[in-house]
Amino acid sequence: MLARAMLEDVLDALSRTSGLAGIAVVTVDDDASSVARRHGARVIADHAEHGHTTAVVSGAAQLARDGATAVVTMPGDIPLI
């Protein structure tokens, strides 16, 4: 429950941020995917089960293939965001 609440907080803050072309969440977790979609985020599942670093690299590579020229990464559990 705490992880979900923190993810909700992070996605809520990001969704209110201007200047972002979009939000993506790299996860294979069904609950996190549901939360992400509810906040209008794209869900990327490729390699998400192989740990944080691999998930970030894989997600950034997918976004680059889709035309992104810059990516900011952050964990889904930032206290007091």
Tens digits of residue pLDDT in 34-63: 999 999 999 999 877 888 899 999 999 999
Residue 35 CB coordination number (10 Å) = 23
pLDDT attached to residue 11: 96
Angstrom distance (rounded) from CA 34 to CA 17: 20
Exposed/middle/buried for residue 67 (C-beta within 10 Å: 0-12, 13-18, 19+): exposed
Give the residue, 74 or 48, on which the prediction is more confident: 74
pLDDT attached to residue 52: 87
Tens digits of residue pLDDT in 22-31: 999 999 999 9
pTM of the entire structure? 0.89
Angstrom distance (rounded) from CA 24 to CA 39: 10
